[in-house]
Amino acid sequence: MASPKQIIKNSAVVNDDWSVLRLQEGDTAETVIVPIGKTLVPLKVWLAQKTVLMHRADIGVWFASDERVEDLQDDVAKFSVIAVDFPKFGDGRGYTIAYRLRNRAGYRGELRAIGDVLRDQLFYMQRAGFDAFAVRADKDIHEALKSLKDFSITYQASTDEAQPLFRRVQRGA
Amino acid sequence: MYRYDQFDHQITAERVAQFRDQVRRRLLGELAEDEFRILRLQNGLYMQIHAYMMRIAVPYGMVSSDQMRMFAHIARKYDRGYGHFTTRQNIQFNWLKLQDAPDILADLATVEMHANQTSGNCIRNITSDEFAGVARDEIIDPRPYAEILRQWSTFHPEFGFLPRKFKFSITGATTDRAAIAVNDVGLQAVRNEQGEVGFRVLVGGGLGRTPFIGTEIASFIPWQHILTYSESIVRVFNEYGRRDNLYKARIKILVNAIGIDEFRRQVEEDWKFTKDGPCTVTQAELDRVAACFTAPAYEKLADVALPSDNKAFSNWVARNVKPHKVAGYASVVLSLKNAGIAPGDATEAQMDAVADLADKYSFGELRITHVQNLVLADVKQADLFALWEAAKASGLATPNIGLLTDIICCPGGDYCTLANARSITLAKAIDERFDDLDYLHDIGEIDLNISGCINACGHHHVGHIGILGVDKSGEEWYQITIGGNKGSPANIGKVIGRSFSFAQIPEVISRLLQVYVAKRDEGERFIDTLRRVGPDPFKEFVYATPVPEEAKLQMPDYELMAQGTPYDTPLYSPRF
Ligand code: HEM
Ligand code: SF4
């Protein structure tokens, strides 16, 4: 499966050479062959083939929306890219996965949103902890980039802002 | 009232700009309807049978007279001259055009209002006690906390796409007027032994297809921790709430499936990371917000004797005027339940009129109640007579608060695509059958709730008498429940038996009331008698003989339109 050629990363459109491995009919996590080259593998595949894959530097992992950050345990620090899949843009579990990866598991590498990633979700995704976005291929990625600036102020704390507004500024003006 | 600071203004303005661009892209076809849908819903915009409907947030039900005038302006400029106040203390406009929606939001922003998160699978507008700040049984004023929660939940980045909508309700009084037990999270202010303020937290209440009364997850969460604790509840729900079945996606299903103890364990497991962290509410922030809710400049007055020679006025005082904690003052409920008008509807002229009344008699503020009426909270007792005359002139002085005709009712089949049956039209039929005020006063307090389908927008489960529209081979039928109660204590009503036709319902209600009148003890309300004698005598009498259909109601032209209401209501939705 080819991944989009361009992604948004650190608020810019950049070329990307990672591909996303998705299990096809008949594949199992234990037996699927992980191609050579930079590959984001499903969490299940990582867990099943860890002893082999851990020697490769070009492996990242992606979470399905019903998977748990705890399942990756201490492996988090091994990766330079972790992705979270949005099967439908209305499935909001990925936001909490991102929050947990950043705030509980202490992950500092690239955190990428993949799947049904649309412009109007990017602002929240960025706040929850994503810094890379594989915008759905049929959408204009340069247009999507604009949405990261939809709001200049936010009320609550999240991954991007440890402090809620009432501690960040003098309110009441 | 809460007043926006520069930050609130800016966030609201940026939201309007964002939505304006989304509407532009939708109109250009860049956004497909299924992608746009979720965005418009987060701005309160529904697509209904006839037009777009917008639900505007009225945080915890408080509106200023200027905001009320803005509603009148929207009704005039963009709608058909009226609006509908809802059971979540919001207002809805039913006849809007998509193109106008950004302008409406921009107009609202000028009076510090918005439609954020009034729909969609996110944290909804937070509801509270309509007598907050003035009720005699209040422990603390819940509104500062409601506002702090509003800001925390507004555009919360993690919680914009929850399994399902998520509703908070908060009360600061000993009597629960905010229906906290039927919300996803219910907060009840309490003081501990040291006199410190905190919240008892209920979780997993809700109506709809599977009604549940909320369960206590914590008996005392100190107020400083209310944001972090709430956040952990919603986070666990976001992860584990079901997403495979729309009807099993509410938190009540999750809590019931794993049990309250396991749910609490998960919440506390998460909370330990954030408790005492930066999201702990500061005294300075509480003070800043609470300063917006200080008592108005009451005059030093004594309670006054009201004129007793006018029966109509006395009736109104008995039903629509409520005690106030300050001597010489009273709270007044303006009834939006008038024969032939959909419960909760108000015309633009009425909105302007109540805004004027608020300016003249109640410090320029109003509240919207969850039974779809309006409240002037701080009226001098000496002004009551003049206020009554003015309210009467605007058709807002029906003395029926808490009585049978103070019906709570959803839009139903006349408007709603999901309906099995008409609600508004049925409310009108009931209203007509029981139009004798003396009889209504004799029957006394009773909650009658109507929902057109199991989504329960009319809260039929918690009506003393609940009416639910059901579908039998494509025809509209109604199921009756009795014994529900919306708070203190909350109860889910029980079905009495097989369902009835539209034209039978007024007779069914009449029979239920006859049993009450025959069985009641001195001073008992309908619900008290029902609790004492049990449901059986009621059931037996209702089904003892065939229930006749009321002839007039069977006529095909029995509809609101024929009665010259201010707007056209189609009899049936295209679904029928
Ligand atoms: C015609 C437009 C409307 C539509 C299509 C609609 C649709 C729905 C649906 C589908 C639900 C169930 C959601 C769930 O169980 O998760 C629901 C619940 C609810 N609706 Fe509406 N509704 C409409 C109008 C209203 C109005 C006008 C009110 C207020 C008067 C209202 C108040 C409520 C309330 C309070 C609930 C929550 C009941 C609960 O706790 O489960 N709705 N609505
Ligand atoms: S209860 Fe059903 S019929 Fe009534 S408004 Fe809600 S969804 Fe529509």
**Under an 8 A CB cutoff, do B235 and A92 touch?**
no
Q: Beta strand pairing status for B45-47 and B408-409?
A: unpaired
Neighbours of B18 (CB within 10 A): 20
Q: Which has the closest alpha carbon to B337: B423, B425, B431, B422?
A: B431
Angle at B364 between CA B303 and CA B343, to 5 degrees: 90
pLDDT tens-digit readout, B495-542: 999 999 999 999 999 999 999 999 999 999 999 999 999 999 999 999
For the cut 90, the answer to whether the pLDDT of residue A38 exceeds it is yes
Q: Which has the closest alpha carbon to B179: B212, B220, B136?
A: B212
In the block, tokens 């705890």 appear at A70
Could you give the dihedral angle defined by the CA atoms of residues B564, B568, B569 and B572, in that order, rounded to the nearest 10 degrees? 110
**Local confidence band at B203 (pLDDT 50, 70, 90 cut-offs):** very high
Task: Compare CB distances from A153 to B10, B157, B239 and report the shortest one's residue.
Answer: B10
**Local confidence band at B389 (pLDDT 50, 70, 90 cut-offs):** very high
Residue A91 inside a domain? The answer is yes
Is the entire prediction scored with pTM above 0.90? no
Q: What pLDDT score does B567 carry?
A: 37
Residue nearest ligand 1's atom 36 by CA: B457
For the cut 70, the answer to whether the pLDDT of residue A1 exceeds it is no
Position in ligand 2 atom list of the atom nearest CA B456: 1
* DSSP conformation class of B404: T
Position in ligand 1 atom list of the atom nearest CA B182: 40
Q: Where are the beta strands (DSSP E) in B335-451?
A: 345-347, 365-368, 374-380, 408-409, 448-451
Q: What pLDDT score does B565 carry?
A: 37
Residue A126 inside a domain? The answer is yes
Q: What pLDDT score does A166 carry?
A: 96
Q: What is the DSSP string of B150-177?
A: HHHHTT-TTSSS-SS-B-EEEE-BSS--
Could you give the dihedral angle defined by the CA atoms of residues B208, B213, B217 and B219, in that order, rounded to the nearest 10 degrees? 140
* B247 or B276, greater pLDDT: B276
Q: Which ligand is nearest to the CA of B88?
A: 1
Q: What pLDDT score does B88 carry?
A: 77
Q: Which ligand is nearest to the CA of B204?
A: 1
Do the Cβ atoms of A114 and A134 come closer than 8 Å?
A: yes
Q: What pLDDT score does B89 carry?
A: 83
**Which of B59-68, B245-254, B418-427 tops mean pLDDT?**
B59-68
For the cut 60, the answer to whether the pLDDT of residue B119 exceeds it is yes
**Local confidence band at B555 (pLDDT 50, 70, 90 cut-offs):** low
Range list of H helices, B377-433: 384-393, 424-433
Mean of pLDDT values over B440-460: 92
Query: What are φ and ψ of residue A108, in 5° steps?
Result: -115, -10
Residue of B nearest to A157 (CA): B279
Q: What pLDDT score does B558 carry?
A: 56
pLDDT tens-digit readout, B302-350: 999 998 899 999 999 999 999 898 999 999 999 998 866 778 889 999 9
Query: What are φ and ψ of residue B204, in 5° steps?
Result: 85, 20
For the cut 70, the answer to whether the pLDDT of residue B574 exceeds it is no
Q: Please give the order of strands across the beta sheet that includes B185-191.
A: B127-128, B168-171, B185-191, B197-203, B215-222
**Local confidence band at A12 (pLDDT 50, 70, 90 cut-offs):** very high
For the cut 80, the answer to whether the pLDDT of residue B569 exceeds it is no
Reply yes or no: is the peptide bond before residue B411 cis, omega within 30 of 0. Answer: no
Fold of B408-563: Sulfite Reductase Hemoprotein; domain 1 (3.30.413)
In the block, tokens 């919360």 appear at B156
Rounded CA-CA distance B206/B153 in Å is 19
Site from B148, B158, B243, B288 to mutate, A interface, most A CB atoms within 10 angstroms: B158
The architecture (CATH level 2) of B6-109 comes to Alpha-Beta Complex (3.90)
Do the Cβ atoms of B60 and B113 come closer than 8 Å?
A: no
Indicate if ligand 1 lies below 6 Å from the C-beta of B370. no
Task: Compare CB distances from B288 to A93, A162, A172 and report the shortest one's residue.
Answer: A172
Residue A1 inside a domain? The answer is no
Fold of B134-289: Sulfite Reductase Hemoprotein; domain 1 (3.30.413)
* DSSP H or E run through B96: strand B91-96
Domain B311-393: give its CATH code: 3.30.70.3340
Quote the tokens at residue A169.
């500024």
Quote the tokens at residue B262.
């396991």
Q: Which chain B positions have a beta carbon within 8 Å of A164's beta carbon?
A: 152, 227, 278-279
By mean pLDDT, which of A1-5, B83-87, B147-151 is the weakest?
Answer: A1-5
* DSSP conformation class of B447: -
Quote the tokens at residue B438.
């003396």
Q: What pLDDT score does B557 carry?
A: 55
Mean of pLDDT values over B459-469: 95
**Local confidence band at B413 (pLDDT 50, 70, 90 cut-offs):** confident
Site from B161, B234, B240, B288 to mutate, A interface, most A CB atoms within 10 angstroms: B161
Rounded CA-CA distance B389/B112 in Å is 31
Q: Beta strand pairing status for B197-203 and B475-482?
A: unpaired
B197 Cβ neighbours under 8 A, 6+ residues apart: B139, B140, B189, B190, B191, B222, B223
Quote the tokens at residue B32.
């497909």
Q: What pLDDT score does B564 carry?
A: 35
For the cut 60, the answer to whether the pLDDT of residue A139 exceeds it is yes
Residue B381 forms contact with A (CB below 8 Å): no
**Local confidence band at B45 (pLDDT 50, 70, 90 cut-offs):** very high
Cα distance from N-terminal residue to C-terminal residue, chain B? 45
Q: Beta strand pairing status for A110-115 and A81-86?
A: parallel
Distances (CA, A) of B46 to B95, B113, B286, B348, B410: 11, 18, 35, 21, 15
Rounded CA-CA distance A80/A99 in Å is 17
Residue A26 inside a domain? The answer is yes
**Local confidence band at B576 (pLDDT 50, 70, 90 cut-offs):** very low
- Of all residues in chain B, what percent carry a pLDDT higher than 90? 71
Q: What pLDDT score does B380 carry?
A: 97
The count of structural domains within chain A is 1
* Chain A closest-CA separation from residue B6 CA (Å): 6
Residue nearest ligand 1's atom 10 by CA: B455
Taking the domains of chain B in order of start, what are their residue ranges? Answer: 6-109, 134-289, 311-393, 408-563
B267 Cβ neighbours under 8 A, 6+ residues apart: B217, B229, B232, B233, B236
One-letter amino acid of B218 = A
Q: What pLDDT score does B556 carry?
A: 57
Alpha carbon B397 to chain centroid, angstroms: 20
Q: What pLDDT score does B226 carry?
A: 97
Do the Cβ atoms of B374 and B83 come closer than 8 Å?
A: no
* Chain A closest-CA separation from residue B39 CA (Å): 8
Task: Work out the mean pLDDT of chain B and round it to a whole number.
Answer: 91
Is-same-fold flag (B134-289; B311-393)? no
Residue A79 lies in domain: 6-168
Q: What is the DSSP string of B506-532?
A: HHHHHHHHHHHHHHPPTT--HHHHHHH
Reduce the DSSP state of residue B469 to 3 states and report it: strand
Alpha carbon B464 to chain centroid, angstroms: 17
Q: Which has the closest alpha carbon to B533: B509, B556, B516?
A: B516
Q: Is the dihedral of CA B115, B116, B120, B125 positive or negative?
A: negative
Mean of pLDDT values over B180-192: 94
Q: What pLDDT score does A173 carry?
A: 63
Q: CATH number of the domain that A89 lies in?
A: 3.40.50
pLDDT tens-digit readout, B2-17: 999 999 999 999 999 9
For the cut 90, the answer to whether the pLDDT of residue B106 exceeds it is yes
Rounded CA-CA distance B482/B464 in Å is 5
Q: Give the distance (Å) from ligand 1 centre to CA of residue B126.
A: 15
Q: What pLDDT score does B340 carry?
A: 67
Q: Which chain A positions have a beta carbon within 8 Å of B17's beta carbon?
A: 150
* B47 or B265, greater pLDDT: B265
